Structure 1
Amino acid sequence: MLTIEILNEQNEAISDEALALIETSLQAAAEAENVKGEVVVTLVDNERIHELNRDYRGVDRPTDVLSFAMNEAGEGEMEIFVAEEDFDEFPNMLGDIIISIPKCKEQAEEYGHSFERELGFLTVHGFLHLIGYDHGTAEEEKEMFGLQEEILQKIGLTR
């Protein structure tokens, strides 16, 4: 089970149905991968995601979704030793997913499917990046996109 916080930092209101869809998509993805932890989803406009994409990825244009993983192993990784009985006090913070709502709407129209399908896709895509999936090679892409499709079908978001 995931703990999910959703922040709406854009000017447009988000329906309760869309918020519930984000939660359902994340819980289904977490269940499929047997992952527990905390995720923060921030809904933004194209201007804000453009700024983040430029500052953190060096790509000077808006994008649809960005993921900032908190648990990536690598250089500078710290090991924290916690007594087993205190473990629950240290939640597994998976990271942040940033979704551009205007880009989501544009792409839904462009791809000829619903806003809900696109929002679910971007949510699951962002989550899979948080837990280590990538699509840099054809093999990685096949694995990640296949898993995304399974998760989306499980919650009824078909093309």
Structure 2
Amino acid sequence: MKRKFKSLKIKVFKNRYRIPVKRIEVVTIVNQVVREEAGDKEGEISVVFLPDEAIQGINRSFLKHDYPTDVIAFNLEDNPGEVLDGEVYIGFEQARMHAKEYGVSYREEIHRLIIHGVLHLCGWEDDTPPKKRKMAVRENYFLTKVLN
């Protein structure tokens, strides 16, 4: 008997920017992380790729940090636990810079940031060094699955 999943709608906004991942890759990554971390949820997740100036504006307006960043995730759930609604913003210029700094491909860094953002939507936090290390281990787990 086939298992029918609830409807999780995934939207990807690249806005004509040259991002080294296809929409189907983004959808696959989001689905994989959500299914393992949150189970069979319905809802909507948007993944939006932005240049430095735009992500800095979001960072300043909502988080009171006046600098560009690589990823921001907003959980939009009204009823936590019942549905999974959220937005993940990827700063692609920061991702490109970090990829060079970390010695990984731009594509791999984009994948890591998508995973990181979705983990936040699934309840993961990285506000302390132990939580950050634990979250990095989980990111690496999914990154290995995605890249293989």
Query: How high is the TM-score relative to the length of structure 1?
Result: 0.77
With a CA cutoff of 8 Å and minimum separation of 6, indicate the structure with the bigger relative contact order: 1
Structure 1 residue aligned with 2:127: 136
The superposition leaves residues 25-74 of structure 1 with CA deviations (integer Å, 9 ceiling, x where unpaired) of 2122112212523201111110000111011111110000100101277x
Structure 1: 5+ residue stretches without partners: 78-90
Shift of 1:93: 4.3
Shift of 1:150: 0.8
Q: Does 1:31 align with 2:35?
A: yes
User: Greater Rg, structure 1 or structure 2?
Assistant: 1
2:56 to 50, 55, 65: 50
The superposition leaves residues 100-132 of structure 1 with CA deviations (integer Å, 9 ceiling, x where unpaired) of 111111111111101111011000100111121
Distance 2:137 2:35 in 1: 16
For these two proteins, the number of residue pairs brought into alignment is 139
Distance 1:154 1:13 in 2: 24
**Cα RMSD (Å):** 2.2
Asked whether the equivalents of residues 64 and 122 of structure 1 are also in contact (C-alpha less than 8 Å), the reply is yes
